[in-house]
Structure formats: C-alpha cells, structure tokens
Amino acid sequence: MSEGAPAGDAEDRLGDFTTSVRVLRLVPVALGIGVLSTGIALALLDMIGLFTNLFYFQRVGVSLVAPGAERLGVWTVLIPVAGGLVVGLMARFGSEQIRGHGIPEAMERILINGSTVQPRLAVLKPVASAVSIGSGGPFGAEGPIILTGGAVGSIVGQLLHLTAAQRRSLLVAGAAAGMAAVFGTPVAATLFGVELLAFEFRPRSMVLIGTAAATADGLRLELAHAGLISAQPLFPLAAPVPQGGVALFGAVVVGVACGLLAWLMTQAVYRSEDLFLRLRGRLHWMWWPLIGGAAVGLGGLVDPRALGVGYATIHATLLGELGVRAMVALVIVKTVIWAFSLGSGTSGGILAPVMMVGAALGGVLGHALPGATPGSWALIGLGGALAGVTRSPFTAIVFAFELTHDPNCLLPLLVAACCAHLVSVLILKRSILTEKVARRGFHVMREYAVDPLEATFVREVMTRDLTTTSPDEPLAALYRRLPEGSTARRQRLYPVLDDAGLVGVVPWSTVLEGRDDATTSVGDAASPPRVVAYPDEILRALADRMVQHSVGVVPVVERASPATVVGLVSEFDLLRARRRLLEEERRAERVLDPWPRRA
C-alpha cells in the first residue's frame, strides 16, 4: 500500500492468505493418503530386505541387512548385473518412467502432467527399486518411495473431482508421507515437500502435506512400539555435538567442502548419463543397467560397504566407528558406482547415498578439525551434503536433527548448510534434481518470492489522465480527436460517459473501423465493460479476472459508485509493479552518509 493511502473496506477484507474452507474437505483425504503411503513405504523396505536376503544369503527374510559381498567373492559381480537385467526388462515392457531416482520424475508429473501419475507406476516403481537395491544397487529407498507415495496421492486425487492444484497437493502429501514413514522425520518430510515439490508455500498445500507426514510418522511410532520396525531416531548418537566458536569455524569448512561435493556428485551422474547416451543406436537402453550393474559388482569387491542402502554404514560413520582410510574408500567407491549405475538408467534414490558420502567426507575432515569428534563432524557433513546436493537447506537441517534427535547439532548444521547451499548455487546452474527436468526441455525456478502483483494496489499503477467520450459523439469525430502517436490513441479503451456516469466503453478497434462513419454514434457502438477494476483491490485479483475474460485494458471505477470512472489499467500497467521490484533489486544507493560534508 502506498504511504498515506486511505484504508477502505477492501483493505479490511484482504487477508494474509487466500486459502478457503474448501481445503477442509481434503484433510481426511490427506489422512488416508498418509496411511496408504506408509503401508507402501514399509512394504518397499520389506521387499528390499527380501531380495537382499535371497540374492546374498540364499534365505527368505525381510530384515534390512547389508549385502554380504565378501561372502560370495567374485560371484558378487553377477548379482547386480542380474538386478540390472530385471530392471531393464521392467522398464522396457512395463514403464520407462521407473528409470531414475524418482524425485525428478515426481517434479515432472507436477510441472507438465497436471499432477497425474499412471496407476501402474505405483506398482512397477517400488518393485523395480527393490530389485535394484536388493541386488546391491548403491541407492536409497527414499526416492522410489517419494515417487510411489506421490503416485498414491495422485491416483486418489484422480478418483476425485479436483483441480490440478489440489491433485498436486495430494501428490506431494503422498511423497512426504512415504519419506516420513521410512526415516521417521515428519517435519523434514513436510519441508521437503514444500521446498522442492509443491512449488508454492501456501496453507492449501502445506496443511495437507503436514497432515499426511504426521499420519505416516504416527503409524510408524506405533509399529516401532510393537517391535515391527526400528525405533526413532534412526541414527542415535553416542555423544552430543559440541557447540562453540571452534565448532562453527569447522562447520564453515565442512559446508564449503560439501558444496564442492555437490558439484562433483552432480557432474558425475550426468557425465555418466551422457556416456550412456552415446550408446544410443548401438545398444538399446534396456541393456544399459546391466553395464551399470557390472560396475556396482566390481565396486562391491573393492568396498562392500558401498552396496545397498547403507543405513548401517551411515550410522557407523556417525558413531565414529570408521577409520580415515575406510571413509576415504567409501567416498570414492560409493560416488563412482552410484553415479555410473544411476546414469545407466536403473532405479533407486539419491538421499541415502548423499548422506553416506557426506557423512564420510565430514568424518575425514573431522580428523583434522578441532572442537568435536569425527562422528560429530560426520553428522555436519551429512547435513551439508544434503543442503548442497538438493538445494533444500532447511530440509537438510531438520532432517539431520530428526535422524539423531540431538538439538546441539542445529547451530553447526545451520552454518554448514548455508555454506554448502551458497557454494552449490554459485557453481552449479541446476541441481541434481532439476538437471534431469531441464534436459527434458523444462525449467524449474527454485526461488520463491512474494508476487509484486500481490503487494500493489490498482490505484498505484492506474492511468488517471483519460480521454473520454459521450454517447452522442460520432465515431468519426472521436477518431479525429485521437491523432497518430498521441497518448490518447495509445489509451486503447475509451469510457463512454453521460450525466449519470459510465454507460459503456469503446475499444480502439471499434473506433478505427468507424473512422469514416459520421452517422454511427459512440453510444450505438459502445458495450458494457466485461471487467471493471477498483482502486482499492490488489493487482493479482484484477490480473486473474483479465486473464479469465481475455481483456487487456479495463476501466477503474469507485467501489461505492460504480458509474464513476477514476482511471484505466492495462496489461502494461501491471508490468509497472514488476518494474518497481526490479528497481528495488538493482538500484543501489547510499541512504545514510557516514561522513556527511559540512556546508
């Protein structure tokens, strides 16, 4: 609002948010999606455990165990190859959308498909991921679970009579519920949905996302009390993270290193993908996961800890149980086989690998940094790597906290996450999540700001000096009053006024057609305005009506006296609000002079 502008009834009616009571009918739907997504997420974990036990231990069981690569020797190489073959066949004859790590695919569904997901994807994606990870694939379960949970939310939304925006909220709610069910991190899952998937920060989506995530975690807690799944936190620490100035300095070092790690991991994945794309025309993409599986098998011979989801390895790193050589080997081997196999088009998530590599990097640096144990620095590295790779710093901070329940880690995590995020956005145009979407011809803007149309009133941009006409004036006479190049001609819409006020409007196109017609009056050619604006309404509401009715210029009338015209607003006037924002961002000035000159 401009300084000194009067506060009228319209300003009193304007609120901070536009969410209506209609969102309440979707809350029970979000609760149901939370329950369904939890069941599917936990079933996926059981499937991963089942395939891991079958492939590596030749037994039936659903416990989530680390692949026993050292037990089978060189034959271990064949297991990921077989897994790659199965995934390739499922992608070829089932759905190509099961390829990849899940999150970019969910973003693509939201951006270009109206938040609709094929129902078969809810079955094929978790099965393919379970085979891939269970056969030793160095991936996490969270990416496939996010896409599968999102598919559940989308399918439920498609069964109901909803808008695309409402389906999007339910899709993200399902994704967040799946993430919360796996890790027991409902707040981080909600933030993840808002920061990365919802493409908005509004109550209409945030409430549904939080409801589904809280429902999923509540069910998880009950199952943990019954001894059916691991309790929370997932990675309890042996000792709290120290605080202090020295620790904060170290957090800066770890954060910068994690920002560079984000560049390395992103480049590694997409350089691997480019390498496989060179095989197009020579070898069908269905066979590429076999090659990726061979790399995984060879990497497992070098360091078996790099195989599978690696939750036990992450926890061991956070407890400080791994030595420097083991962590260095883990960083190298995990990064190489993860990037190469993911580039081959197999199915699996990225969060667990990023956590493992980030924790190992932090642990290595922790042996040289003072003020904390290597395990504490590993936790800071875990959070910093997530912030740098995903470009979601708040999610990374809360995620690391919820994984450990150590409040002492929040301050160093904030420092590390901010540093990693800054380095990442400065050296990488796109993240590992948005690069895949960009390669498919779409752009994702991750910066959210208040729309200037939401903060500007019509009275601040409307044109007040108007050319008007009367009902009796001939069109030819009005045309002669509008010389070429004049401001009056550029007005494009002319209010028709009589003694009582506004009776209609005449567009420039009508005036141009009647320029030689001395018999037709303006009153005969005029029509009621399709849209009117009010001085005390925000530009966003007006812009929405202009788009809905396909008009480019509208008269502005007094709300209390609709026949009184006070101005005009065109689409060019709407851009003036954007120009004001650009001036605020680009115009630099010194407001206070610390050394004023004396007269």
In a domain, residue 76? The reply is yes
Q: How many CB atoms lie within 10 A of CB 9?
A: 10
pLDDT tens, 581-597? Answer: 787 777 777 777 777 77
| pLDDT score for 485 | 82
Q: Both 62 and 181 in a single domain?
A: yes
- For residue 12, pLDDT over 60 is answered with no
Looking at per-residue confidence, does 583 or 522 come out higher?
522
Q: Which of the 8 DSSP states describes residue 555?
A: E
Q: Both 323 and 471 in a single domain?
A: no
In a domain, residue 53? The reply is yes
Predicted TM-score of the model (pTM) = 0.83
Report the mean per-residue pLDDT for the chain.
87
In a domain, residue 258? The reply is yes
| Paired tokens of 568 | 């005009």
In a domain, residue 378? The reply is yes
Q: Both 46 and 88 in a single domain?
A: yes
Q: Which amino acid is at 151?
A: A
pLDDT band at 5 (very low <50, low <70, confident <90, very high): very low
| Paired tokens of 256 | 């910068």
pLDDT tens, 309-357? Answer: 889 999 999 999 999 999 999 999 999 999 999 899 888 888 889 999 9
Q: Both 165 and 60 in a single domain?
A: yes
- What residues make up the domain containing 326? 245-439
In a domain, residue 191? The reply is yes
Find the helix or strand (DSSP H, E) in which 30 lies: helix 27-52
In a domain, residue 300? The reply is yes
Q: Both 497 and 547 in a single domain?
A: yes
In CATH, what number is assigned to the domain containing residue 120? 1.10.3080.10
Find the helix or strand (DSSP H, E) in which 557 lies: strand 553-557
Backbone dihedral region for residue 244 (phi beyond 0: left; psi -120 to 50: alpha; all else: beta) = left
In a domain, residue 509? The reply is yes
Q: Both 419 and 473 in a single domain?
A: no
CA distances from 34 to 30, 109, 112, 150, 233 (A): 6, 20, 24, 11, 20
Q: Both 456 and 543 in a single domain?
A: yes
Give the integer Cα–Cα distance in Å for 429 and 392. 15
In a domain, residue 461? The reply is yes
Instruction: Tell me the backbone φ, ψ of residue 521, rounded to 5 degrees.
Output: -90, 165
3-state secondary structure of 85: helix
Mark which of 439, 474, 503 sits at the end of a domain: 439
Among 226-230, 383-387, 439-443, the least confident range = 439-443
Mark which of 412, 439, 466 sits at the end of a domain: 439
- For residue 7, pLDDT over 50 is answered with no
| Paired tokens of 172 | 């993200």
